[in-house]
Amino acid sequence: MIQLCRTAETTSDTARSMFNPSRGLLLTFILLAWSSCAGACNIPVFRYALERWTPDDCEVIVFHDGPLSPADANLMNRLNASTDDHGGHANAKVMAIDVRGDANAERVALWNEIDADAKKSTLPHVLVRTKLGRGRFVNHWHGTLTDADRLGIFHSPVRNELRDRLLAGHSVVWLLIRSADREKTENAKRLVQQTFQTLSSKVTLPEGIGLPGSELYADLPLVVKFSLLEIDPDDPNESFLVGLLSGLRLSAFEDGEPLLVPVFGRGRALEVIPAGDLSARLMEELTIFLSGACSCQVKEQNPGFDLLIDADWDGQLFGDIDNRPPDRSAEEGRNRNPVLVPIPQGRK
């Protein structure tokens, strides 16, 4: 059985309280992040994130009891083959945990929680966890090892299209998860598309791009471009992605609210916003933030979380390793305790 974790609802209460647009807290958090670092470079946030922020790895935990059967071992190998540690490009770490032989109390408690939620799960069982920052995880999805292989948890048509648009230079791609309420969905779509038109005259790129400390390393043209990408919640190919995103706004989604997700950089979702909380002003504020100078270069100090996407970001953006930014390191790219990152001295 494929399920959203109830623990996702509980854990994400923290995220919801921090990023609730209806309370204005999302904008407050952005302004704090924006002003918390001094000595900024002039690259827009969306482009800086695309070139220099390595996506956080999702945790894909495979719970099992004793040695895996040959068939299950083959499925496990297929999961591993898609990850960046085994020659693939999906931002994920696959971990195998023997529910009887593991002595780690935290992992045992995690399995007991999942097992209780699934009402005695079938082993092997897979849990997908997404990092929200500062060491916090949301348990987004769990199901059998066969389910994980069948659904293709690392890729889907929408995520492939999202990846292609970001690599083609789209500044922000707004995902729209349709709801059962067709009128609400059409109203949300109309609001987004109309706001796109007004934003084109309000958003300007920072000055000083290309100067020392503000170099661009990818050949991709720097433009301000927004697009809308719709998701059918009943599409079986997108069930993993829909479950992951709707889990953060489950009550609103179940009440018939379409969900909107602004995505930038290397698949970083800024927030999951119920359509009823969205306004042209909120879209404008978010867009101005993402299009403005990258005041805070440390990824950890910016809002959002990274989607699980199979993409060769570095290869597609830079090709030859000599053309890559000198400060693209695990120290800056992956979530960690916030520190100020020195501005690069320029391309040699």
What residue segments make up the domains of the chain, in order of their start? 12-55+157-332, 58-151
pLDDT for the residue 334: 43
Model's pTM, two decimal places? 0.82
Query: What is the distance between the alpha carbons of residues 301 and 86, in angstroms, rounded to a whole number?
Result: 30
Question: Tokens 């979702």 — which residue?
Answer: 269
Same fold, 12-55+157-332 and 58-151: yes
Query: What is the distance between the alpha carbons of residues 119 and 121, in angstroms, rounded to a whole number?
Result: 6
> What architecture does CATH give domain 12-55+157-332?
3-Layer(aba) Sandwich (3.40)
Query: What is the distance between the alpha carbons of residues 307 and 330, in angstroms, rounded to a whole number?
Result: 18
pLDDT for the residue 179: 95
Question: Tokens 């829909």 — which residue?
Answer: 242
CB under 8 A, 24+ apart: contacts of 144-150: 144/1, 145/62, 145/72, 145/75, 145/76, 146/75, 147/1, 147/2, 148/60, 148/75, 148/79, 149/75, 149/78, 149/79
Q: Kind and range of the H or E element at 112? A: helix 105-117
Q: Give the chain's residues under pLDDT 70.
A: 1-40, 117-120, 133-135, 295-302, 320-322, 326-348
- The answer for residues whose C-beta is within 8 angstroms of residue 323's C-beta and 6 or more apart is 217
CATH code for the structural domain at 58-151: 3.40.30
Specify the amino acid at residue 286.
Answer: L
Picking from 61, 329, 278, 34, the residue whose alpha carbon sits closest to that of residue 174 is 278
pLDDT for the residue 139: 84
Structure tokens at 59: 């945790």
pLDDT for the residue 106: 81
pLDDT for the residue 94: 94
Give per-residue pLDDT as tens, 249-282: 999 999 999 999 999 999 999 999 999 999 999 9
| β partners of residue 13 | none
Q: Based on DSSP, count helices (H) and strands (E) in the chain, helices before strands.
A: 13, 11
Query: What is the distance between the alpha carbons of residues 270 and 34, in angstroms, rounded to a whole number?
Result: 14
pLDDT for the residue 107: 81
pLDDT for the residue 298: 58
Picking from 290, 12, 321, 335, the residue whose alpha carbon sits closest to that of residue 173 is 290
- Contact present, 152 and 128 (Cβ < 8 Å): no
pLDDT for the residue 200: 78
Phi-psi region of 110 (alpha: psi -120 to 50; beta: other; left: phi over 0): alpha
